[in-house]
Amino acid sequence: MESAFEPTLQNIIAQKSLKWIFVGGKGGVGKTTTSSSVAVEMSKHRDNVLIISTDPAHNLSDAFDQKFTNQPTQVKGFNNLYCMEIDAQSSAEQNKFFSSLGLQGEESQGTMSFMKEFMSSVPGIDEATSFGEVLNSLDNYNFDVIIFDTAPTGHTLRLLNFPNILDKALLKMIQMKEKFGGMLNQFGTMLGGGQTNGEDFQKKLFDSLDGMKSKIVEINKQFKDPEKTTFIAVCIPEFLSLYETERLAIELAKYEIDIHNIVINQVCFPEKETPCRKCIARRKMQDKYITQIKEIYDDFHLIINPQLDEEVRGIEKLKEYGRLLFEGYVHDK
């Protein structure tokens, strides 16, 4: 029985209210190729489009065949498509947060050391603050839609948990203030932070984390609005990838994030004229998992893409792959 849901991503084009599009799944299944092609297609329908890589592997530069940085950079050949690659755990991203607190130069080294020690005591706080800084920087732009090329599943779910992480950091600060009081009031001066006094610095740090938390909470409300946010899962028809997709869908439901599209890549379509035993055997194995996906996600748009002969790299190849996503693949049987 054929699904009533069109096997393409046309639905995200039709949904004009979409602001945030996440693309994720297990490593090596074609997430970056999919997210990049989605970005290229969206640029035809929206005024300003941004694609962000939160994957430390940073494959966007390879996909577009262009070097990107941690600032929105215009993609060559487009006047409304931008790309940036961020590494939430890099020292450069953390230093942006320190700079926002007024910590710069040699005179602030002591305070920065204290801050790094404090941040290491709250798991995930480095990523949360870096993500907060990215969101703050995007206020200076006017992007209609932002596409996230996410890291493998576990990293993606951590990103959605950032408000809770910042809550823990704020609670830890309150506990430190209650426990060490006067000593904390003096530490800014003692460490050479260049602040008038430790209390001023402490307030600045607390206000910064609290403001960042407010920003992320505000964005997360949009993430939970299916009119503004959706998640596109990418997988291949194999056990581990199917397992990761199920895990992802369950976790996204817990976070109230909409997901109704699954892209299934690397599907083998044996040639009728030149039958290949290995291809036929592989497709038989794949059919088992494709059937399971269709049964589990019977109310999803399922986009089935063939195993490609060449890697997808460069704008023209991304457009070709985009046609598979948005028009569908028709195999001549």
List pLDDT tens digits, range 120-176.
666 666 667 677 777 777 878 889 999 999 877 666 677 777 777 777 777 776 776
pLDDT confidence band for 96 (50 / 70 / 90): low
3-state secondary structure 145-201: EEEEECCCHHHHHHHCCHHHHHHHHHHHHHHHHHHHHHHHHHHHHHCCCCCCCHHHH
Give the Cα separation of 220 and 64 in Å (integer).
Answer: 29
| Average pLDDT of every residue of the chain | 82
**83: nearest Cα among 120, 111, 55:** 55
Give the Cα separation of 104 and 163 in Å (integer).
Answer: 27
164: annotated binding-site residue? Answer: no
168: annotated binding-site residue? Answer: no
Q: What are the extents of the domains in the chain?
A: 10-101+133-160+228-327
pLDDT tens by residue, 272-325: 777 788 888 999 999 999 999 999 999 999 999 999 989 999 999 999 999 999
Superfamily for domain range 10-101+133-160+228-327: P-loop containing nucleotide triphosphate hydrolases (3.40.50.300)
Answer with the residue of higher pLDDT: 166 or 61: 61
Per-position DSSP letters for 211-237, written without gaps between them: HHHHHHHHHHHHHT-TTTEEEEEEE-S
Is-catalytic flag, 200?
no
Out of 55, 87, 149, 258, which one is annotated catalytic? 55
30: annotated binding-site residue? Answer: yes
150: annotated binding-site residue? Answer: no
Identify the burial level of 181 via C-beta atoms within 10 angstroms of its C-beta, where 0-12 means exposed, 13-18 middle and 19 or more buried: exposed
- Dihedral (C-alpha) 308, 313, 318, 321: value to the nearest 10 degrees? 0
pLDDT tens by residue, 230-256: 999 999 999 999 999 999 999 899 889
Q: What are phi and psi of 86, to 5 degrees?
A: -120, 145
Strands 229-235 and 259-267: parallel
For residue 255, give both structure tokens. Answer: 């976070």
The reported pTM is: 0.83
